[in-house]
Structure 1
Amino acid sequence: MTMIGLVDCNSFYVSCERVFQPRFLGLPVGVMSNNDGCVIALSNELKALGIKMGTPAFEIQHLVRQGRIHLLSSNYELYGDMSARVQEVLEEYSAGVEPYSIDEMFVRFDGFAKDQRLKHARQLHRKVRQFTGIPVCVGVAPTRTLAKLANRAAKKIPTYQGVCVLHPDSRETQVLLKKIELGDVWGVGRRLVERLAVIGIKSAWDLAQADPKRIRRQFSVTLERTTLELRGIPCIEMNDFHEPRQRIMTSRSFGKLTGDMSEIREAIRQHGQRGAEKLRSQNSLARAVLVFLKTNPFRQDLPQYSPSLILELPRPTNDSRAILSATGQALQRIYRKGYLYQKGGVMLLDLIDAGRQQLSLFDTPQSDADRQRSEKLMGVMDELNRRMGRSTVTLGRPSPGAAWHLRCANRSARYTTRWDELPIVRV
């Protein structure tokens, strides 16, 4: 029987912070969203105080001032790098890894006998903590849906000690499914829970025992697959993680409202460069770019204006220079004075595989030489940024303190990706 595991990092953002700041161990810690708006990650100690996900940061600032809790600004560069390190460990000790999110990864258990699976799952549990400092829980089962539930059991039930292996026909699995509410099943949302309750399906076990064909007729093929997965029949395949995206969006809210054209141009330039890097990383070319701006819709006391514009590129490209030229032109055409903008972004559209580009009849040997020079230049830039840290080499430098920069007053150092922010050990 083929088995698959789900490795889920515990309180991932908080755990990343604790790896380099052990003084936060055992303390109530939260990580805030972009611009320090609300709490998006909580330690167990913070949850115990009754603070919920999404709580606005300003509502609990009095607890910060009293020293009862600690709030940190999001540090996505650190979290992304730590996620990659977790994946590297899993790849070394498993037959294959399928990332599901920044803190969850499916792991193949091919080739392990039934009596070896628990031992191997515990090894993954131990090795990730040993080599990265990140605590994880491991759930193993024949399907991804059951692996999700096994992982939940590993996290919520202390007797599992962070590792749970389920077999579909075991008494243990039956007992667990009867205890799990429908809303805790992967892919079953609140509205589905309400509709299923009408026909007497209220637990994961009830759904597993339901007639799949009836579920398909009354609901959807997706829920039918979930039903079969709960029985241990694999029906859900993850999309190939390396499959190229069909469009690439880069955007972010500004740290504060601004109408300054030079500041907005800097933000759009940063988004355009980041989008071009993503484009090259998946070996794609873009045929068009979209640039948009937004004012704050909640500030009805201010004039509202949210324009966007798509420009076709002269030829499919992933060259940052061509993309930034187009984004600059688009911004020039949509920008209007007299408005305070809250957000801006760039979307790369109509993507094609770089290896399947159809050349124009008007291409010349000089055009081919230009493409080769472009590929070489962009390759050197990407390699330097990969080795030396993001934004080591950029087209234009952002002004310090510009309004579009994110508010991140309590961000920790980017210990693993910035040479000038490496941890310092004093003896």
Structure 2
Amino acid sequence: MFALVDCNNFYVSCERVFNPGLNGRPVVVLSNNDGCIIARSAEAKTLGIAMGTPVFRCRSLLKRHDVAVFSSNYPLYGDMSSRVMALLAELAPAIELYSIDESFLDLSGFGRLDVRMFGQQLRRKVGRWTGIPVSVGIASTKTLAKVANRLAKADERYGGVCVLDDDEAVCQALRQTAVEDIWGIGRRWGRTLGLCGIRTAEDLAAASSEQVRRMLHVTGARVQAELRGQSCLPLEEVRPRKQSICTSRSFGHAVTSFDGLHQAVATFAARTAEKLRQEGLVASMLTVFAGTSRFAPPQERCWLSRTIPLGTSTADSLVLVSAASRLLEALFQQGYDYRKAGVLVSGLEDRAAAAHEPELFGSDPGHDDARRKLMAAMDEVNRTCGHGTIRLASEGRDAWRPQQAYLSPRYTTQWSDILEIRG
């Protein structure tokens, strides 16, 4: 048996943990640059506010119903996610972190226990220890657990926990699930299947295996097998190694000068290097890109991008920032309003393995060791004292920063933002 634990309206729930006055009030969280709505409370959904709605289109609605609006507070959300996942890891023998607010648990050793009772106990403990409400779906495959979780979240009669442990329960759940809502299907394949009369998960499970494989290939065949109770997707306790790492942002204001764009690219390159070191990886390829708004008139649009090989696979901030700066110098074109930029590294490999393959004309090993120690010291200071405590001089903090007019305090990751209680 698998359990899928999903945090309810996660970003909104994180805001409510530290601001109980938001309970019962409609709340929305916005995307980067406060552009679109990416999270909604149940009360906001009731008002008809759709996911992805641009803020300017519903500003009057938000004001009329006194909707609380927040900018995305990713340091807070990431820290709260870590707390929830650490607690779940203590409650189950194996866990797969699927996303920032979802994880699969392995319940294969729970044969003598009442899994429904376990799910309720898990909900109560996560809610009591972290303040985050969760829904739990339990079934014999990961896809069925997704179906169960969707029902647990949508139907109050389940009390937040839905268990599909017999054929009748599975059939009823599949009958209530639209085919486009199945994990791994989506709207595009859902439309294709609908043209063939397959409109529910029950229809897909009952369809001809040959027809499904012909239409949806191996992925669709695997989904169908999972809906039939055949487990094809094992728990991934160890996350597969990334093939690339990217850091990019949309700017809060147009950037027109080389210096402004250079500050942004240098910052993204340094952050990408940090991510590499956190993953224990090094990169051999570097890409820098920048562009104007896609809504700009055709004659005012510009997209710059170039990829170069690095001499030696590295995760050194100084090396990556220097290489990214040289690339930008070659790419930059004056006269455009740049609205986005980013740095991407690829050709990733394990740092330990790469260290045992020295270059014939590489630098002095002692110098490389000193630089690794320098990077480790920077990471430790930033981890202990706060991100950005030590940074390169070329990193900037100017107008390219995204707009965050409704940002809440970083209650758990910034000393100055910790709540104060006065008697």
Give, as a single letter, the amino acid of the residue that structure 2 aligns with 1:244: R
- What is the total number of aligned residue pairs between the two structures? 421
Q: What is the CA–CA distance in structure 1 between the aligned matches of 2:22 and 2:215, rounded to whole Å?
A: 50
The answer for the alignment partner of 1:162 in structure 2 is 160
The answer for the alignment partner of 1:232 in structure 2 is 229
Question: Counterpart of 2:348 in 1: which secondary structure?
Answer: strand
Preserved CA contact (<8 Å) 1:139 1:151: yes
Taking structure 1 as reference, are residues 54 and 288 closer, same or farther at Cα in structure 2, changes over 3 Å only? Answer: same
Q: What is the CA–CA distance in structure 2 between the aligned matches of 1:28 and 1:350, rounded to whole Å?
A: 45
Aligned with 1:189 (options 186, 190, 194): 186
Seq. identity, %: 42
Q: Post-superposition shift, 1:395?
A: 1.4
Q: Post-superposition shift, 1:404?
A: 0.4
Taking structure 1 as reference, are residues 188 and 301 closer, same or farther at Cα in structure 2, changes over 3 Å only? Answer: closer
Superposition pairs for residues 128-277 of structure 1, below 5 Å? 128-167=126-165, 169-237=166-234, 241-277=238-274
Q: What is the CA–CA distance in structure 2 between the aligned matches of 1:363 and 1:59, rounded to whole Å?
A: 56
Preserved CA contact (<8 Å) 2:264 2:396: no
Q: What is the CA–CA distance in structure 2 between the aligned matches of 1:413 and 1:397, rounded to whole Å?
A: 27
The answer for the alignment partner of 2:124 in structure 1 is 126
Q: Post-superposition shift, 1:410?
A: 0.5
Q: Does 1:77 align with 2:75?
A: yes
Q: What is the CA–CA distance in structure 1 between the aligned matches of 2:342 and 2:32, rounded to whole Å?
A: 15
Aligned with 2:32 (options 28, 31, 34): 34
Preserved CA contact (<8 Å) 1:139 1:152: yes
Give, as a single letter, the amino acid of the residue that structure 2 aligns with 1:426: R
The answer for the alignment partner of 1:361 in structure 2 is 360
Q: What is the CA–CA distance in structure 2 between the aligned matches of 1:389 and 1:298, rounded to whole Å?
A: 37
Superposition pairs for residues 342-353 of structure 1, below 5 Å? 342-353=339-350
Q: Gapped runs of 5+ residues in structure 2?
A: none
Greater mean alpha carbon deviation, residues 96-105 or residues 200-209: 200-209
Aligned with 1:322 (options 308, 319, 340): 319
Preserved CA contact (<8 Å) 1:6 1:138: yes
Q: What is the CA–CA distance in structure 2 between the aligned matches of 1:198 and 1:261, rounded to whole Å?
A: 52
TM-score normalised per structure 1? 0.94
Q: Post-superposition shift, 1:114?
A: 5.2
Q: Gapped runs of 5+ residues in structure 1?
A: none
Q: What is the CA–CA distance in structure 1 between the aligned matches of 2:90 and 2:289, rounded to whole Å?
A: 42
Q: Post-superposition shift, 1:241?
A: 4.9
The answer for the alignment partner of 1:413 in structure 2 is 409
Aligned with 1:89 (options 81, 87, 90): 87
Q: What is the CA–CA distance in structure 2 between the aligned matches of 1:227 and 1:142, rounded to whole Å?
A: 14
Give CA-to-partner distance per residue, 1:196-254, whole Å, 9 cap, x none.
Answer: 23443222112222232342134312111111101111012465653221111110110
Greater mean alpha carbon deviation, residues 212-221 or residues 91-100: 212-221
Greater mean alpha carbon deviation, residues 214-223 or residues 351-360: 214-223
Q: Post-superposition shift, 1:363?
A: 4.3
Give, as a single letter, the amino acid of the residue that structure 2 aligns with 1:362: F
Q: What is the CA–CA distance in structure 1 between the aligned matches of 2:327 and 2:335, rounded to whole Å?
A: 18
Question: Counterpart of 1:219 in 2: which secondary structure?
Answer: helix
Q: What is the CA–CA distance in structure 2 between the aligned matches of 1:395 and 1:256, rounded to whole Å?
A: 23
Give CA-to-partner distance per residue, 1:91-139, whole Å, 9 cap, x none.
Answer: 1111121111111111111311154312221222111111111000000
Q: Does 1:426 align with 2:413?
A: no
Give CA-to-partner distance per residue, 1:8-36, whole Å, 9 cap, x none.
Answer: 00000000000011111100110011000
Taking structure 1 as reference, are residues 58 and 218 closer, same or farther at Cα in structure 2, changes over 3 Å only? Answer: closer
Give CA-to-partner distance per residue, 1:74-103, whole Å, 9 cap, x none.
Answer: 111111111111100101111121111111
Preserved CA contact (<8 Å) 1:388 1:417: no
Give, as a single letter, the amino acid of the residue that structure 2 aligns with 1:149: V
Q: What is the CA–CA distance in structure 2 between the aligned matches of 1:147 and 1:44, rounded to whole Å?
A: 22
Q: What is the CA–CA distance in structure 2 between the aligned matches of 1:301 and 1:230, rounded to whole Å?
A: 47
Question: Counterpart of 1:176 in 2: which secondary structure?
Answer: helix
The answer for the alignment partner of 1:383 in structure 2 is 380
Q: What is the CA–CA distance in structure 1 between the aligned matches of 2:394 and 2:422, rounded to whole Å?
A: 33
Give, as a single letter, the amino acid of the residue that structure 2 aligns with 1:112: F
Preserved CA contact (<8 Å) 1:204 1:230: yes
Give CA-to-partner distance per residue, 1:26-50, whole Å, 9 cap, x none.
Answer: 0011001100001110001011111
Q: What is the CA–CA distance in structure 2 between the aligned matches of 1:301 and 1:246, rounded to whole Å?
A: 33
Q: What is the CA–CA distance in structure 2 between the aligned matches of 1:240 and 1:115, rounded to whole Å?
A: 23
Give, as a single letter, the amino acid of the residue that structure 2 aligns with 1:14: V
Question: Counterpart of 2:347 in 1: which secondary structure?
Answer: strand
Aligned with 2:332 (options 320, 328, 335): 335
Taking structure 1 as reference, are residues 261 and 89 closer, same or farther at Cα in structure 2, changes over 3 Å only? Answer: same
Taking structure 1 as reference, are residues 246 and 191 closer, same or farther at Cα in structure 2, changes over 3 Å only? Answer: closer
The answer for the alignment partner of 2:6 in structure 1 is 8
TM-score normalised per structure 2? 0.95
Taking structure 1 as reference, are residues 240 and 292 closer, same or farther at Cα in structure 2, changes over 3 Å only? Answer: farther
Q: What is the CA–CA distance in structure 1 between the aligned matches of 2:237 and 2:107, rounded to whole Å?
A: 18
